[in-house]
Amino acid sequence: MQGLMMHNDLLISDLLEHAVTCYGQQLVISRRLDGRIVRHRYEEIAQRSRQLAHALHALQVRPGDRIGTLAWNTHRHLEAYYAISGIGAIVHTINPRLFAQQIEYIIQHAEDRILLVDASFIGLVEQLLPRLPSVEHVIAMTDWKDKPAGERWLCYESLLGEHPPHYNWPRFPTGTASALCYTSGTTGHPKGVLYSHASTLLHAMAACRPDAIGLGPDSVVLPVVPMFHVCAWGVPYAALMAGSRLVLPGAALDGASLAELIETEQCDVLLGVPTVWMGLLAHLRQKNQVIDCMRRVIVGGSAAPLAMIREFDERHGAFVMHAWGMTELSPLGSTNTPTPELLALPKEQRYQRQLSQGRPVFGIQMEIFDDEGQALPHDGKAYGRLKVRGPWVISQYFRSEASAIEQGWFDTGDIASLDAQGYMRIVDRAKDLIKSGGEWISSIELENAALDFPGIKEACVIGIAHPRWDERPLMLVISTDPGLDLQALREHLQAQVARWWLPDDILRVDELPHTATGKLSKMTLREHYAQHYMDPAP
């Protein structure tokens, strides 16, 4: 028997109008690229979104068209998110940190008809434009005066000025595509993940919940994670759904700028990748400054090191909440919520538990499998391929014929363990695990151990070819200590990991390469050091 309830297609425009009805006076605080802070009420954001919706119509944008954005976290980018999806078109967020050729490839692959670009990326787009035949217009997200000359170039603010602040959002099925985000493509071409209104809204509902990101009308949320990377982990939707104050940091993501913004605006829920928080902590340490308004610091994208969890807690009274996810999951898969049981544990024990990537958020199911496809026990020890399913998990890449699902599951490419309470722990990315003499070594665990040693700013472990053991770990470290004692570091590691896990060599370096999403670019390093253990010593 069928249930007898309404079939109402929920749309992203409904979310915007709901936010205006209930929290119209709530603020979106945005740092412009010139450093100036601007404040808009939700009501104003919605008015400007509706003006942009009119403008896109006037430019002949049709449902399903892709509109690319190359932009930082600002109120204009937020307005574009709502306007583009609201009219049934697709907001295609482009990561400006990708190589120019990759950006070109992505725009061509998506066939973007219009690009919206922040001032910082105008030069880049001017260069690429001759090779972007699908792009009919470029809207510079600037004030009246700064747009480049040329027929295809339009100015965001002048466009808005030409249109009224009222608009009747169209209705269409909730399964309609709303946003497109490409994975960073560390191997092969970037692949597009196409979100829908339904998947986005369900994800936002799950993300707001107290046991996930935990947002409400009293939250002041700062997504440092960029809106060009998996829709800033869904915060632009979740924050408006919950009526939270939203603080958008613009382009200034260094420790000093973030510290100032967090203090001035009293941000209490913060989201970002570990490198961002390392920058913030280093700045605060150097200035001997304490910020006491931070309640939850949500870390994802890479593993949060123990030293970071400890420092946020001990110096600033902030709880580091590990979250795990990926572009293919919109991105939220699991969170390590501060439950009463966790908070009651003695500190060091609690920090150890905080290293886990947490439990699935409601809506996501997880399972681990061995290479033969057999499900593994949830004993916290066995580890294997992490597979997931849920209503905001990818089913097929954009413009790909093949399904992304195998026997009902999406394979994340991560290796993880699960315990009896549902806690998941990422051991490594499958491609980063090190196979030494037939046994696996986790690069993440070694890095974590190194980061706990005084002065170590960044650590990277890669597996490289070895004449006897197939592969052996090599550790590269950046240290703030000019007299770094590598032998002492080795002894420190030895106390924390099995002896045979110890890197055969530890090298001190000044810099480590990163991917467009801020992760260590291990592929580049593996190539660079491929012969390190193979060449006979001179």
Binding site for ligand ADP (CB under 6 A): 183-184, 186, 300-303, 322-327, 331, 357, 412-414, 426, 429, 517, 519
Rounded to the nearest whole angstrom, what is the least distance from the CB of residue 183 to ligand ADP in the complex? 5
The residues that bridge with 365 in the sheet, in sequence order, are 389
Residue among 333, 337, 359 nearest 418 (CA): 359
Residue 306 CB, shortest distance to ligand ADP, in Å, is 13
Shortest reach from residue 89's CB to ligand ADP, in Å: 24
Count of C-beta atoms within a 10 Å radius of residue 282: 15
Return d(Cα 112, Cα 107) in angstroms, integer: 6
Nearest residue (CB) to ligand ADP, 328 versus 471:
328
Residue 406 annotated as catalytic = no
Here the tokens at position 524 are: 């580049």
Q: Look up tokens 């973030």; give the residue.
A: 258
Q: Which of the following is catalytic: 79, 157, 328, 471? A: 328
Tell me whether residue 41 or residue 431 sits nearer to ligand ADP (CB atom): 431
Nearest in space to 172 (alpha carbons), one of 62, 92, 63: 63
Contact 420, 380 (CB under 8 A): yes
Q: Is the Cβ of residue 160 or residue 323 nearer to ligand ADP in the bound state?
A: 323
Instruction: For residue 183, indicate whether it is catalytic.
Output: yes
Per the CB < 8 A criterion, the answer to whether 138 and 89 are in contact is: no
| DSSP strands (E only) in 419-469 | 424-429, 434-436, 439-441, 456-466
Q: Which is nearer to ligand ADP, 176 or 184 (CB)?
A: 184
Q: Which residues, 6+ apart, have CB-to-CB distance to 327 below 8 Å?
A: 181, 182, 183, 193, 229, 230
What six digits make up the tokens of 404? Answer: 């992304």
Taking the complex as a whole, the smallest distance from the CB of residue 114 to ligand ADP amounts, in Å, to: 24
CA-to-CA dists, residue 406 to 303, 324, 330, 358, angstroms? 27, 21, 19, 24
Q: Which of 44, 186, 367, 440 is catalytic?
A: 440
Is residue 204 within 8 Å of 241, Cβ to Cβ? yes
Query: Hunting for tokens 């998996």 — which residue is that?
Result: 230
Whether 220 contacts 247, CB under 8 Å: yes
Question: What's the CA gap between 272 and 262, in Å, rounded?
Answer: 13
Rounded to the nearest whole angstrom, what is the least distance from the CB of residue 328 to ligand ADP in the complex?
7
For the record, the structure tokens of 15 come out as 């979310």
Pick the closer one to ligand ADP by CB: 272 or 300.
300
* CA pair distance 453, 490, nearest whole angstrom: 10
Beta bridge partners of 321: 298
Judged by beta carbon, residue 134 or residue 302, the one nearer ligand ADP is: 302
CA 22 to chain centre: 28
Assigned token pair, 96: 């400006």
Q: Where are the alpha helices (DSSP H) in 332-397?
A: 340-343, 347-354
Residue among 134 and 186 whose Cβ is closer to ligand ADP: 186
- Could you tell me the smallest distance in angstroms from the CB atom of residue 294 to ligand ADP? 18
Q: Is 58 helix (H, G, I), strand (E, B) or coil?
A: helix
Q: 435, 439, 480, 491: which is the annotated catalytic residue?
A: 435
Closest distance of CB 230 from ligand ADP, Å = 6
Q: How many helices (H) and strands (E) does the chain have?
A: 17, 25
Annotated catalytic residue 174: no
Task: Confirm whether 157 is a catalytic residue.
Answer: no
Q: Which is nearer to ligand ADP, 66 or 387 (CB)?
A: 387
What's the closest the beta carbon of residue 98 comes to ligand ADP, in angstroms? Answer: 10
The catalytic residue positions are 183, 328, 435, 440
